């Protein structure tokens, strides 16, 4: 049975999506279908330090969010996670499947692999894991931004 009781935000792990350099930074639970997240993303991108992205799709509010998060995660499996996130937040008007294929093409992704990965169970599980950690940390809306200094210090990965 799934335990979604209160728990601290998990430390930054090996398979977290991390951009930037340094020992300081922020961690954000974000929804790729959320307009407030898109507006905040511009500011987060520009600040110094590390930026850790965790998935928090609220499908009932933004029906295309699950597909967008799957697309970003699938792009990440080909090393282009943040490029896909940037692309999705930069243009929120074109998010149907043909638009996602176009974005994948523009990023130089292997389309066949992208298609298979974005529909895979492992990608769904990866996104759900982030979402559930946000629920346990008490996230009630997006974007939810945390100071990542301690989380980076306690990290399990080597940068």
Partner 1 sequence: MIAVGDQAPDFTLRNQDGEKVSLSDYAGRKVLLIFYPGDFSPVCGDQLSIYQEVKPEIEEKGVELVGISVDSFFAHQAFREKLGIDTTLLSDYEPKGEVARAYGSYLDAPLGFANRTLVLVDEEGKVAWTYESPNPGEFPGANVIFDALS
Residue ranges in contact with partner 1 by CB under 8 A: 1-7, 58-61, 63, 131, 135-141
Please report how close the Cβ of residue 59 comes to partner 1 at its closest, in angstroms.
7
Q: Which CB atom, from 81 or from 131, has the smaller least distance to partner 1?
A: 131
Q: Which CB atom, from 61 or from 119, has the smaller least distance to partner 1?
A: 61
β-partners of residue 18 are 52
DSSP at 107: T
Q: Which CB atom, from 114 or from 146, has the smaller least distance to partner 1?
A: 146
End-to-end alpha carbon distance in the chain:
34
Please report how close the Cβ of residue 113 comes to partner 1 at its closest, in angstroms.
29
48 CB burial (10 A radius; 0-12, 13-18, 19+): exposed
β-partners of residue 52 are 18, 27
Please report how close the Cβ of residue 117 comes to partner 1 at its closest, in angstroms.
23
């Amino acid at each position: 049975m799934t335990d979604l009781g209160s728990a601290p935000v998990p430390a930054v792990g090996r398979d977290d999506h991390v951009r930037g350099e340094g020992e300081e930074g922020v961690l954000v639970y974000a929804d790729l279908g959320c307009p407030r997240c898109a507006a905040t993303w511009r500011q987060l991108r520009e600040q110094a330090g590390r930026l850790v992205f965790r998935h928090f799709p609220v499908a009932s509010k933004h029906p295309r969010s699950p597909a967008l998060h799957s697309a970003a995660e699938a792009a990440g499996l080909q090393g282009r996670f943040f490029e896909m996130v940037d692309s999705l937040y930069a243009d929120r008007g074109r998010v149907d499947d043909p638009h996602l294929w176009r974005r994948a093409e523009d990023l130089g992704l292997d389309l066949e692999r992208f298609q298979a990965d974005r529909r895979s169970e492992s990608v769904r599980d990866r996104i759900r894991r982030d979402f559930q950690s946000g629920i346990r940390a008490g996230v009630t809306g997006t974007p939810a931004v945390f100071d990542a200094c301690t989380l980076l210090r306690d990290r399990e990965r080597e940068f």
